[in-house]
Chains A and B, each alone.
Chain A
Amino acid sequence: AQTVTQSQPEMSVQEAETVTLSCTYDTSENNYYLFWYKQPPSRQMILVIRQEAYKQQNATENRFSVNFQKAAKSFSLKISDSQLGDTAMYFCAFMKSRGSNYKLTFGKGTLLTVNP
Chain B
Amino acid sequence: SAVISQKPSRDICQRGTSLTIQCQVDSQVTMMFWYRQQPGQSLTLIATANQGSEATYESGFVIDKFPISRPNLTFSTLTVSNMSPEDSSIYLCSVWTSAYNEQFFGPGTRLTVL
Q: Which residue of B lies closest to A45 (CB)?
A: B105
Question: Is the CB–CB distance between A44 and B42 below 8 Å?
Answer: no
Q: How far is the CA of A35 from the CA of B33 in the complex (A)?
A: 17
**Could you tell me the dominant secondary structure of chain B's interface residues?**
strand
Give the top 3 A-B pairs by smallest Cβ distance, nearest first: A45-B105, A102-B96, A106-B42
- B positions within 8 Å CB-CB of A: 30-31, 33, 41-45, 48, 92, 94, 96, 101-108
Question: Is the CB–CB distance between A50 and B102 below 8 Å?
Answer: yes
Question: Is the CB–CB distance between A107 and B105 below 8 Å?
Answer: no
Q: Assess whether A91 is interfacial by the CB under 8 Å rule.
A: yes
Question: Is the CB–CB distance between A44 and B108 below 8 Å?
Answer: yes
Question: Is the CB–CB distance between A91 and B103 below 8 Å?
Answer: no
Q: Assess whether A47 is interfacial by the CB under 8 Å rule.
A: yes
**Which residues from A are CB-within-8-Å of B94?**
104
**Which residues from A are CB-within-8-Å of B108?**
44
